[in-house]
Structure 1
């Protein structure tokens, strides 16, 4: 176990994070969605509503992505703090993210990867670790993308459930009209500048300790979650979907795919 000073030094050391977004990726995600719909048809289930016409992000928007573990963990902590009602629960989740303070390693000349402790943790809490760390990577990249696209604007991340509860009952304990659809995005990104209307982007993030094929399935599933929210006219709400691969051996690429935004400036 490292001492506190060594841990803090490691947390502040930025590393490269590989990103991948391409036309080929879009095709793989579409194929994964079609395969899942075929399985659902065999079970006599309806096909999922997915965001149509997935589009890859421009290379310039996802290139040169460097990240310190502390930034990813801080992004995760801020994202989940408001996800539960009650200050005590939120504070507990904020500090709970620090359980990953020795899960990632790397240096300025290398790609970030799971540390020995991160690999051992994966054996016991594999799904939880990949999902939660995936949030940190995905939202960090989302903020970079949106800051590059909208300079001199503020980008805020809000848990989707926190916002949606203002108008719908999401669980049996909530009061109000039922949402009526169990799929929904995990977060909203609000891009705003004083004196201008806000732009809102539904975001769904997933993570895995597996491979690209798993990410294709996850991105296809994520497209069903962001399809649940439309602001204004149908299919004019820009969205972001991510799947973060955290392989037990090797670097940890974050794999994004963007959806159409016909009405964006």
Structure 2
């Protein structure tokens, strides 16, 4: 057994801290970056249309600015869970897992210090640099966003859903390959849900960068501030119910900040709620008929004029009208269920939850050999049977197994289309899952209150097979 691999697994399971920065000065700095972006656009004549941003962004409340305390493995689990419905086509299984597992050696925790990039993480291959910034930015940004929403709604379970996947049933363009095009939008929606109560929804953006800022770096050129300014544009293009009623969290992660990895965060207040709408999908249910809509994007949002002035205007945005709040609740429930099943490696079972424009056919087709997520693994943690999928790869030459799964009773309910029963059982059992960062026989583990787990362990060396007879 490799000592180097043992050390890496131990570091992945060690609790560490990540800086969080959110203050009034950050709002001012992001505003200066926004003004610089607008000047650049004016010079290049890139966009003649008026640019809209959130009318008011603020720092997080003081109680939500504490350092993140978590393990590196939990960060990677956050990234992996957020990409379960990414459109990886026939290589989806390998892509979903490897998106997070490739960063097992990218971070390090010097003794007594905050989490930072390791030497290999600081110097990725040039073509990989942008990818690392984007993916680790999402991982840390989402980790902070999820903690923030848990603090605000401790009596609820949260579900992180890719915003494009959630918006496609209502807004997909009628091309051969339906997409949302280049329309600005947030990265994720986070639903805080509780059985029989309206869900609360937040829009989230999460970016990252490798810039090394110096005292001579102007506010308008600071990548973090520019990312927050652009994030304000993107979340302003999504409104649930009415204009400016959707809570938003804007995150930008500096991976090379001097004191260690630092997440910069702003918020825009809002209290968007969906109408409670039960969703159960029996065999043969027509999900397209139930969830497909043709909602408008152009000039949908009515924005009031400045205070004291009667003039108002309209701008383009994804608007979920009040009359469609029950529909959108079902879209999020179905898309969230599909993501949970994908996490376990399910295949055709997922297709009952996705419309055609969301890529249902991808889960009805066979995948390439060796590249599929297949729900054929099961392990027991703390006396509870978990079912899911695994991938085996090498870490410093040592074979290791990564397992992602869900408690078997919860999986069985989703497999049968019983979303409401799943939510009730998941909510009832949200406090029973292990809270440790390791498990017997495993290295780092990450359990969540929705009954899912991600775990890693070293595989024993395979014994040499002695040929005892000649193969004729």
Provide TM-score, normalisation by structure 1.
0.90
Bigger shift: residues 65-74 or 166-175: 166-175
CA contact (8 A) 2:241 2:272 kept: no
Using the alignment, how far apart are the partners of 2:210 and 2:191 within structure 1?
Answer: 29
CA contact (8 A) 2:107 2:118 kept: yes
1:234-253 deviation digits (Å, cap 9, x = unpaired)? 01111111000001765111
CA pair 103-149 structure 1, distance change in 2 beyond 3 A? same
Q: Which residue of 2 aligns with 1:136?
A: 139
Q: Which residue of 2 aligns with 1:125?
A: 128
Matched, 1:147 2:156: no
Matched, 1:245 2:245: no
User: Aligned ranges for residues 42-191 of structure 1 at < 5 Å?
Assistant: 42-44=43-45, 45=47, 46-84=49-87, 86=89, 88-106=91-109, 109-121=112-124, 123-169=126-172, 172-175=175-178, 179=180, 182-191=183-192
CA RMSD of aligned residues (A): 2.3
How many residues are paired up? 262
Q: Which residue of 2 aligns with 1:24?
A: 25
1:116-156 deviation digits (Å, cap 9, x = unpaired)? 11112165522111110111101111111111111111011
Using the alignment, how far apart are the partners of 2:211 and 2:154 within structure 1?
Answer: 35
Higher relative contact order (CA 8 A, sep 6+): 1
**When you count strand as a share of all residues, which structure comes out higher?**
2
* Gapped regions of structure 1 (runs ≥ 5): none
CA pair 257-13 structure 1, distance change in 2 beyond 3 A? same
Q: Which residue of 1 aligns with 2:244?
A: 235
Using the alignment, how far apart are the partners of 2:138 and 2:99 within structure 1?
Answer: 14
CA pair 194-108 structure 1, distance change in 2 beyond 3 A? farther
Q: Which residue of 1 aligns with 2:458?
A: none
Bigger shift: residues 85-94 or 140-149: 85-94
CA contact (8 A) 1:122 1:129 kept: no
Deviation at 1:98, TM superposition (A): 0.6
Matched, 1:9 2:18: no
Provide TM-score, normalisation by structure 2.
0.52
CA pair 27-152 structure 1, distance change in 2 beyond 3 A? same
Using the alignment, how far apart are the partners of 2:138 and 2:251 within structure 1?
Answer: 9
CA contact (8 A) 1:14 1:107 kept: no
Using the alignment, how far apart are the partners of 2:124 and 2:242 within structure 1?
Answer: 44
User: Partner of 1:52: helix, strand, or coil?
Assistant: coil
CA pair 2-35 structure 1, distance change in 2 beyond 3 A? farther
CA contact (8 A) 2:200 2:272 kept: no
Q: Which residue of 1 aligns with 2:371?
A: none
CA pair 194-227 structure 1, distance change in 2 beyond 3 A? same
User: Partner of 1:81: helix, strand, or coil?
Assistant: coil
CA contact (8 A) 1:114 1:248 kept: no
Using the alignment, how far apart are the partners of 2:188 and 2:20 within structure 1?
Answer: 20
Using the alignment, how far apart are the partners of 2:102 and 2:182 within structure 1?
Answer: 33
Q: Which residue of 2 aligns with 1:208?
A: 209
Deviation at 1:50, TM superposition (A): 1.3
User: Partner of 1:131: helix, strand, or coil?
Assistant: helix
Using the alignment, how far apart are the partners of 2:264 and 2:125 within structure 1?
Answer: 20
CA contact (8 A) 1:137 1:254 kept: yes
* Gapped regions of structure 2 (runs ≥ 5): 214-221, 274-472
Using the alignment, how far apart are the partners of 1:90 and 1:225 within structure 2?
Answer: 30
Using the alignment, how far apart are the partners of 2:272 and 2:202 within structure 1?
Answer: 12
